[in-house]
Structure 1
Amino acid sequence: MADTGIMIVPVTTKAERETFVDLAYRLGRSDPNWVPPLRMEALELITPGKNPFFEHADVQLFLAKRGGAVVGRISAHIDHLATAMNPVQGFGPGTGNWGLFEAEDEEVADALIRTAEDWLRAKGMTRVLAPLSMSIWEEPGQLVRGHDHPPTVMMGHQPAHYQPWFEARGYVGVKNLMTYELDITTGFPPLIQRIIQSGEKNARIRIRNVDKSRFDEEAALILDILNDAWSDNWGYVPFTDTEIAYAGKKFKPIVREDLIMVAEYDGEPVAFMMTLPDLNEALKPMEGKLLPFNWLKLLLWLRNPQVRTMRVPLMGVRKKLQSSRLASQLAFMMIEFIRRNAVSRYGASRGEIGWILEDNQGMVAIADAIDSHVNKEYRIYAKPL
């Protein structure tokens, strides 16, 4: 890109990976609603041998430089588990991705996106789905609504001006992912309360906490329900065994037994709901650093997290019950039981559910029924190569 003075270089060393991570902190610092992730976790995400995503994906990171200064970054990647999926579910053969995008200006954005597209095209890809940073299970999509408040734990936050840059380069939105927020200090509407009360009287239904002393067993159960519940969804990509172990290790410090529920029907586990205290509330003032004393603050917070917000990142009901009245009843019961614990034990006043696919009618109906409303919207784009 000699005519613009922009040079795009592939990332090949640890020092360049650190530079790749550092750029997000420099560009994000001016946004009061950006939450700096822990640097060690941001670096782990892009490091082969640390993040199991690399076991089934080809990944190339790029830096943009101008006048010797780093002014942008992007990842180009091909998830071979995703390319093996049915195309009607969003991915499929020939679909590559880019993500982890940051750029100082549109000129830099153009050079980065073209480089990522060229890399994917050279690898035989015929279509790009973006932005994905990097797996669909991590931080998918460009934030297009809700820039006025910080994201909750494990959700992305991108500047609004990135959206027109993508669209000007031929990217067309193919799916919107929504998060819903609600006041959890008060009970749900009378109809929902009656449904919950009916379930509490039904001897065939049992809603239980997970047992952290059997963490691996409970994690395997939840993943089994998740894989069954989500396997036909748009964007679904299965977890590998190493990814399950990796996710379990990351989740364990913030998992609370009374915030994750399993629903049993006639003794069979058929649904689950995972809720996490919003770790971002603790991380935001730390600026991504654990030293010198933030590690102690974080440790104390993890022992007894008192938060404003609880996030429900995952829930699922086995396929055989989906679209049934029982499925929605179990969902309402789990939400209510978790709501009670979140308010009384953790001081929470706000809940966030998502992300939810815009056309997931069952989940949208549940969100509407408990008087929640959309607070953030993320868009995934596609473009032929």
Structure 2
Amino acid sequence: MGDVSGALVVAPVEGKADRKAFLDVAYRLNGDDPNWVPPLRSEAAEMLDPSKNPFFQHADHQFFLARRNGRVVGRISAHIDKLALTMPVEQGMGPGTGMWGLFDAEDEAVAAPLIAAAEDWLRAKGMTRVLAPISLSIWEEPGLLTKGHDHPPMVMMGHHPAKYQPWIEAQGYAPAKTLRTFDLDVSGGFPPLIQRIITSGQKNAKIRIREVDKAKFDQEAALILDILNDAWSTNWGFVPITDAEVAYTGKKLRPLVREDLIMVAEYEGEPVAFMMTLPDVNQPIKVIGGKLFPFGWVRLLNWIRKPTNAAMRVPLMGVRKHLQSSRLASQLAFMMIEKIRLNAIRDYGTTRSEIGWILDDNQGMNAIAEAIDADINREYTIYGKAL
């Protein structure tokens, strides 16, 4: 752990060397955790680069490093999402809401001044409350892992040491919202009632469940974005995804996109719902330790070309708002899940999938997860505090 008695200095990140140190410290502090999946360094660096990550087109930010006796021992980002400021207060964001994230600390004596530095920066920018940790967008890695430390996260989910929870709560933070992921054994069929609902839908001429067409990638991405922004628009924490963010995310995820794992549901010819499933690329990334060179890229590329024995994650699904809370919405969800389940077993040797994250108060999605016998396997807590 090093000498904890030395002088601790928290300072803004300035220059190339600081940016590299900000990136490196996460690998050093988390490297001994057997369940931490080191992100590809190129992707982690790109996420922090305002010239490449379109999140920064609508956000102000400041990165901070903590040093003890000149040695880097922690980091944090403070940021203000300008789109979040425009959202209704009753949906969790709204005017005066700042955020911090990308938090790592060697010990609690480092954590407290790092959080204080982020709060001071947000306060100086006129923010009156803070939600954290959110790294960086609500669409990226929101929340602190507070349940499920005993297994690695799937693609696009975070992993944090259990010790961070008491350190953050000691600074006056209280839970604002819990996000859940659900583990699902896909090797067997669903309960008889759900199978009857699926069979009934398959006989309904008004319903069509189709795969996305990768040849029309941009068009399909725009359709999914349109459904998503409509479906999630009244959810807690919702911030609209910009066209630039869709293009950026689409480019990153395109190698993982499989037409038989992403479904669009049409009702009377109108696209009304979608479900996106991705092979869990964290499996090979964990094996190569997040390092593409010298030989990691070969292993990763081979896996991406043909994922085998691949676990799956459903990071996004949505049903247009005018159908939500209807029997049809649940039926479409079950039908899409079943079609993806069969394809995943047949084509990728899948036995396990994960659904989420899902807000703890999203009754519809929680009910769907429970109906197919999925179990909560991880929880992430977003904390709030008045500044």
TM-score w.r.t. the length of structure 1 is: 0.98
User: Map of 1:1-385 to 2, 5 A cutoff?
Assistant: 5-385=7-387
The answer to whether the 8 Å contact 1:82/1:237 transfers is yes
The answer to whether the 8 Å contact 2:89/2:95 transfers is yes
* Shift of residue 15, structure 1, vs aligned partner: 2.2
RMSD value, Cα = 1.1
1:72 alignment partner AA: G
The answer to whether the 8 Å contact 1:262/1:271 transfers is yes
1:272 alignment partner AA: F
The answer to whether the 8 Å contact 1:60/1:77 transfers is yes
Offset from partner CA, 1:288-336 (integer Å, 9 cap, x none): 2111111121111111011341000000000110000000000000000
Offset from partner CA, 1:44-95 (integer Å, 9 cap, x none): 1111111011110001000000011000000000000001111111110000
Residue 47 of structure 1 aligns to a residue in which SS?
A: coil
CA distance in 1: counterparts of 2:220 and 2:16, whole angstroms: 36
* Shift of residue 182, structure 1, vs aligned partner: 1.0
1:330 alignment partner AA: L
The answer to whether the 8 Å contact 1:277/1:307 transfers is no
Residue 102 of structure 2 aligns to a residue in which SS?
A: strand
CA distance in 2: counterparts of 1:53 and 1:103, whole angstroms: 24
Offset from partner CA, 1:323-358 (integer Å, 9 cap, x none): 000000000000000000111100110010000000
CA distance in 2: counterparts of 1:345 and 1:162, whole angstroms: 39
Count how many residue pairs are aligned between Structure 1 and Structure 2. Answer: 384
Offset from partner CA, 1:221-241 (integer Å, 9 cap, x none): 000000000000001000111
Offset from partner CA, 1:127-164 (integer Å, 9 cap, x none): 00000001000000010000000000000000000000
The answer to whether the 8 Å contact 2:7/2:69 transfers is yes
CA distance in 1: counterparts of 2:13 and 2:76, whole angstroms: 10
1:133 alignment partner AA: S
The answer to whether the 8 Å contact 2:330/2:368 transfers is yes
* Unmatched runs of 5 consecutive residues or more in structure 2: none
Residue 99 of structure 1 aligns to a residue in which SS?
A: strand
CA distance in 2: counterparts of 1:121 and 1:4, whole angstroms: 28
The answer to whether the 8 Å contact 2:6/2:69 transfers is no
* Unmatched runs of 5 consecutive residues or more in structure 1: none
Residue 354 of structure 1 aligns to a residue in which SS?
A: strand
CA distance in 1: counterparts of 2:244 and 2:317, whole angstroms: 21
1:332 alignment partner AA: F
CA distance in 1: counterparts of 2:362 and 2:145, whole angstroms: 19
Moved over 6 A (4+): none
* Shift of residue 4, structure 1, vs aligned partner: 6.1
CA distance in 1: counterparts of 2:274 and 2:342, whole angstroms: 17
Offset from partner CA, 1:262-288 (integer Å, 9 cap, x none): 000011000000000000001002122
CA distance in 1: counterparts of 2:15 and 2:288, whole angstroms: 27
The answer to whether the 8 Å contact 1:281/1:307 transfers is no
TM-score w.r.t. the length of structure 2 is: 0.98
1:36 alignment partner AA: P
